[in-house]
A and B are shown apart, each in its own frame.
Chain A
Amino acid sequence: MTSTLEKKEIDKITVIAPDPSWESEVREAAMRSIVTKPGKNWWIAVSLLSLVVVAGVGAWIYQLKHGMNSAGYNDQAFWAVYIADVVAFIGVSYGGAVVSAILRLSGQSWRAPLTRLSEGMALVTVLIGGAFIFPHLGRPERFLNIVAYPNFSSPLVWDFIAIATYTLATAIFFYLPLIPDMAVAKNLVDTGGKRARLFSILSLNWMGTKRQRVLLHRVLTIISLIIIPLAVSVHSVLSWAFALTSRPGWMESVFPPYFVIAALYSGTALVIVTIYAFRKGYKLERFITDRHFVRLGYMMAALGLVYAYLTVADMLTEGYTGITTGWIQQTITGKYAIPFWFYVIAGEIVPIALVVMKKTRNATGMTVAGVLVVISLWVKRIVIILPAATQPLISGQWGSYHFTWVSITVTLAGVAAIPLLLMILFRFIPLMSIDEMEDAGPLGSIEQISKETLKAAREESIPEPSKEESK
C-alpha cells in the first residue's frame, strides 16, 4: 500500500496551479508570440536578418567558385575562421542545453521560464554550427566521404558522429517538454486552423494524466542525464580535432576541458542575451525577472574564472619549457596580441566585474556581460586557431591569414541566422514552458519528484501496460 505521504507526493506530480489568474497569465504570456500578429519591428528585423543570411549564402557560392583563398585561406593558414565558427556556434549550443539539463536535474524551480528559450537556442545554434562545416570543407561534396569511407583513426569522423548524436539529443530534448504545451496551445488558437492541427499532432493527444506525467518526467530525466556527457563528448572530440595534430599550440592535453568550459561559458552568456531579447520583445518581465539574470550571471562568472584558469594553465605549462613557444609569443605580444588582450579585458575582467559590482548586477548589466563574453570567446577561438595554424613547422616563416569579405559575410550570416531562426521558431512554439510554469506556481515552488514517489507510482499507482496495450 502506498503511504499517505507518498500519495501526497504523487499528487504533486500533477500539481494544478493554485491560482487560476496565474494560470491564465502564464498562458497568455507564453502564447504571446503565437497569438499576436507580428508587428512592424518584427518584420523589419526578420527582413534585415534574412538579407544578411542571403548575402552569406551568396558569399559561400562565390567561395565555391573562386576557391578557399577568396575566404583568406592559403597553404600556410589552412584552418581559420570557419572552424572557429563551428567551435563557437556548437559551443553556445552546448551551453544552452547543459544549463537547461543541469537545472532540470537539480530540480531548480526558477528554471521554468528559461528552459524553452535556452533549449530553442541550443537547437538553433547546433544546426548553424553544424552547417559551418560545409564552408570549412571547401569541397562540400566530399562530406559524403565521411559517411561512405569513414576513417576511424581520424577525430573528424568522431566529430561527425558526436555532433550528429548531440543534434538528435537536442532536438528530442526540445520537443518532449513541448508536448504538454502543445495540448494547451491547440485550444488557444483558431480551432480547425492549420496551427491548431499542427499543435494537435505535436501534442500526441496529451491529457496530462499522472501516468503521462510520470512517463514524460522519467524520459526527460534520462535525456537530461545523457545530454550532459554527450555535450562534454562533443566538445572534447572537437578539441581533439586540434589536439591530436602535432602542432604546437594545439597538441595540448588541457584542450578537452578547455573547450568544454569555453562552450559552457559562452553558452550561458548567449542564454542570458537570448532571454533578455525575448523578455524585452514580448514584455515578459513579470516572469523573467532580474533574479534569473543574476543567477545565470553567477554561473557565467564562475565558468569565466575556470576558463581564465585553464587559459593560464595552457600557456604557462608550454611557455615555461620554452621549447615550442612561438605561438605564445605571437599570442601575447605578437600579431595576435590585440585580439588576445581583447579577450582578457572584454571576455574576463569586464564581465566578472559586472557580476561582482552590485550596481550592475541586474538584467542589463548581465546582458552587457553576456554580449561581451559571446563576442570575445569567438575572438578567443580565432586566437587559439590562427597562431598555431600559421606557425611554421618546416620553413621557419610564419604564414598569415587575412580576413576577406567572403569569410566575414559568411560568418555574419551565421550570427544573423540565430535570432532569425529563433524569431521564426517562436512564432509556432510557446515562449515559456506553460506546463512547468504552472507547476512552479507564482513563487516558483515546484516540488521535486522523489525516488520514492516514482517507485510508488511505478509499483502501485500505475499498473504496467497490459498485453493488449503493448501491442
Chain B
Amino acid sequence: MAELYLEAILLILLIATTLIVLTVKDLMAAIVVYSAFSYFAVLFYLMVGSPDVAFTEAVIGVVSTVFFISALKKLNRGVKH
C-alpha cells in the first residue's frame, strides 16, 4: 500500500514539473525544472521495476541538460544577467 502512495506522489510530481516547464517564462528555469522532471522519472522507473530504463534516463537527463544549456547560450535570451 505504501508503494502505491509513493507511486501516486511521483506521478503527481511528474505532472507538476511538466506543467511548470510548459508555463515558466525564463528558459533557464525551464531547463532546470526539466532536469528535475528527469530525476523524478528515474525514481518512477525504479519503483515500477525497470532499472535499465532508469539508468538510461539518468545518464541522458544529464547529457540533455548540458545540450539545452549550451543551446540556450547560443540563443542569447532567457538568461537574466
User: Do A and B assemble together?
Assistant: no
